[in-house]
A and B are shown apart, each in its own frame.
Chain A
Amino acid sequence: MSEWWTYRLTSFLLFSPSTYYRMLERYNLAIWPAQLAGMAIGLAIVALLIGKRGHHDRIIAGLLAGCWLWIALAFHYQRYAQINWAAMWFAVAFACEALLLIVVGVLAGRLELQLARSGAPWIAASIVAISILGYPVLAPLTGRPWTSAEIFGVAADPTAITSVAVLALVRGRIRWLLLVVPVLWCAIAAATLRAMDAPESLVVLAAGLLALWPAVAGTRHHAHDATR
C-alpha cells in the first residue's frame, strides 16, 4: 500500500453503519434461538469460575472453543464476509482460536485458571458478567433495535471481551498465545466501530483493556517474585 500515511480509518470501511447493523439484525433473526444458548453458555462460564473445581478449566475451554468456532462459521464466513472481504480471514483466525482452546485447554489441560490473586478474579468476573448481561443493552442504549443486540457466544465482540477476561487468568506464558486473537479482535472491532463513529468503540476498547489487566498484572507479579 503506497502512501499509507494518507489513509484514515474510514478509508478501510467498506460498508455503511446501517448496512452493518442490518446485518446484525438479520443474523440474529436467522439464528434465533441460538442467542439463548449463548447466554446459557456465558452464565455457565461464570458459574464454573465461581465454583471452581479441577476439571472446570477444561469445560470452560471447551465452551469458549464452541463459541469461537460458531462465530467463525455462522457470523464471519456466512454473513460478515458478504460485506467485508477481510472477514474470510477473521473466520480463519476465530477457527484457529477455537482449535487452540481445544488443543491447549481441553486435550492438554493446560488452561489452568488462577483465581487466588486478589482483585483479578473479581475484575474478570465483573467483565464477564457485564459482557454477557450488559453488552446486549448497548443496542437500545445507542438507538438501535433490540433485534440488533450482540449476545455472548454468537456475536464476536462480547465473546472476545469475555474470552480476554477469562484467558487473562490463565497461569503461565501460554496465556499470551491464547490471548493473541481475542485481543486483536478487540482492537479490530474498536477500530471498525470508531470508523463508523459508533460509541460502542469506546466500550470495546475499555472493556478489552480492563479485561487484559490481570494478565499484565500477573506478569509483573511473577517478575517481582523472581527478583526477590
Chain B
Amino acid sequence: MRSDEPVMWNRRRALRMLTAAGACAALRPAIAPAQQRAILTRPIPSTGEALPVVGLGSWITFNVGDDTVARDACTDVMRKFVESGGRMIDSSPMYASSQDVIGYGLRKAALTGRIFAADKVWTSSGTQGREQIERSRQKWQVGRFDLVQVHNLLNWQEHLPTLFAMKGAGQVRYVGITTSEGRRHRDVEQLMRSQAIDFVQVTYNPVDREVEQRILPLARDRGIAVIVNRPFRQGALLRALARQPLPPWAAEIECTSWAQFVLKFIVSHPAVTCAIPATTSVAHVRENMNSAYGRLPDEALRLRMIAAVERT
C-alpha cells in the first residue's frame, strides 16, 4: 500500500499541516468565517498522522459482483472521493464482492497509493485470520493495509494478537476493532481499556448517540482514533429528514443538504476522527465530501442540530 516511503513522509507532513488548519476550523465558533478551503483532518492519536474527516464505506454499495457497468460506477465514486481530498476507504470480507470491486477501481483509476486502506478480519477461526487478511489484500491489490480491524469483535481474543504481531512486523500500520448499531459496547469499552488498539469503529449520528456517554470520552482519554459507521442509518435517517426542509441556520456551517448537516454533526465531535458514509452516486460522494470543508458547528449549534433532527 505505502511502498513509496519518501512520498508517504511528504504526504504525512503535508497532512499534519492540514490537520492544524482543520483543527482550527473545528475549534472556532460556528460564526467564524471559512477562509481556509483545505480539507478538514483529524490526527490519528497514536501517530499524529492526519486523516480527512470524511471517508468512504463500502457496505452494500460496492457489492456488485462482476457487473462491469456497476464496477465502473463504483470506480467513478472512488475517483471523485480521492479527487475531493478523501483518503480512508473501509471494507470487510463480510461484504461479499466489495473488496474485489475496490481492487478493480483502485487499479483502473490508479488510486492505489493515494488512499488509506482500512479492512477487517472476519472469521471465527483464529488460525485463518492471517490467511483471510492476505486474501483481502490480494483483492484490494495493495501492498499492505493501513488498518485492519476485528470485525464486530468476532474472536478478538485470537485476532488481536495476530494483528499486533503483523503491526510489529510492518505488515499493517494500525490495529482496530469494530462494532455497529450499538452492539457490545461494554466489550468495546473493555478492549479500549485493555488493548493497545489504534482505532475503534462505532455507529454515531444525531439519532444514535449512545457512544457520547462513554466510548467517545474514553477514546479521547486513551488516544484512540474513532471511525463512525452508519452515519445515515443506511439511508433511513436521510429519508426521514427529507420530509422536512433544512433549517435556514444550517447555512451558518455551510450545509446545503441534510447529508452534510448529519456529517458535520458527526465529525464535529472532538473524539471523532473520520465518518465513512457509503454511496454508489458520484453526486452523493461530492455532497458528502463537501462536509469535510468549511465551518463545523460549535457545541451550542450541535445541540440545536440534535433538536432539529429529533423534531422530524
Contact = CB atoms under 8 A, between A and B. Distances in A.
B65 A82 contact: yes
A116 interface: no
Chain B interface: which size bin?
10 to 19
Interface stretch (B15-23, B35-43, B177-185, B216-224): B177-185
B236 to A, nearest CB: 9
B181 A6 contact: yes
Given A15-B63, A23-B65, A85 B96 contact: yes
B46 interface: no
Contacts of B181: 6, 11
Contact of B64 (A2, A83, A85): A83
A10 interface: yes
B60 interface: yes
B70 A22 contact: yes
A52 interface: no
Contacts of B61: 16
B67 A14 contact: no
Interface in B81-97: 94-97
B195 interface: no
A14 B60 contact: yes
B128 interface: no
Nearest to B280: A16
Interface in A1-51: 2-3, 6, 10-11, 13-16, 19, 22-23, 26
Contacts of B280: 16
A19 B234 contact: no
Q: Give the interface centre of A15, A22, A79 by most chain B CB atoms within 10 Å.
A: A15
Q: Which 10 A-B pairs have the closest CB atoms?
A: A82-B65, A83-B65, A3-B183, A15-B63, A14-B96, A83-B96, A19-B64, A82-B97, A83-B63, A16-B60
Contacts, number: 46
Interface in A100-140: none
B60 A82 contact: no
30 contacts: A2-B183, A3-B183, A3-B184, A6-B181, A6-B182, A10-B234, A14-B94, A14-B95, A14-B96, A15-B60, A15-B63, A15-B96, A16-B63, A19-B63, A19-B64, A19-B65, A19-B67, A22-B64, A22-B67, A22-B70, A23-B65, A23-B67, A79-B65, A82-B65, A82-B66, A82-B97, A83-B63, A83-B65, A83-B96, A84-B96
A13 B97 CA distance: 13
B60 A26 contact: no
A120 B280 CA distance: 48
Interface in B38-66: 60-61, 63-66
Contacts of B63: 14-16, 19, 83
A82 B97 CA distance: 6
A11 B229 CA distance: 14
A131 to B, nearest CB: 27
A6 B208 CA distance: 14
Nearest to B60: A16
Contacts of B96: 14-15, 82-85
A2 B187 CA distance: 11
A213 B63 CA distance: 38
Contacts of B94: 14
Contacts of A10: 234
B182 A19 contact: no
A82 B280 CA distance: 18
A79 B70 CA distance: 15
A16 B64 CA distance: 9
Contacts of B95: 14
A144 to B, nearest CB: 16
Nearest to B181: A6
Contacts of B70: 19, 22
Contacts of A15: 60, 63-64, 96
A26 B67 contact: yes
A63 to B, nearest CB: 30
A157 B254 CA distance: 49
Most chain-B Cβ atoms within 10 A of its Cβ — which of A10, A19, A23, A26? A19
Interface string A75-88: 00001001111000
A23 to B, nearest CB: 6
Nearest to A11: B181
Nearest to B65: A82
Contacts of B182: 6
A6 B183 contact: yes
Contacts of B64: 15, 19, 22, 83
Interface string B169-193: 0000000000001111000000000
B161 to A, nearest CB: 21
Contacts of A23: 65, 67
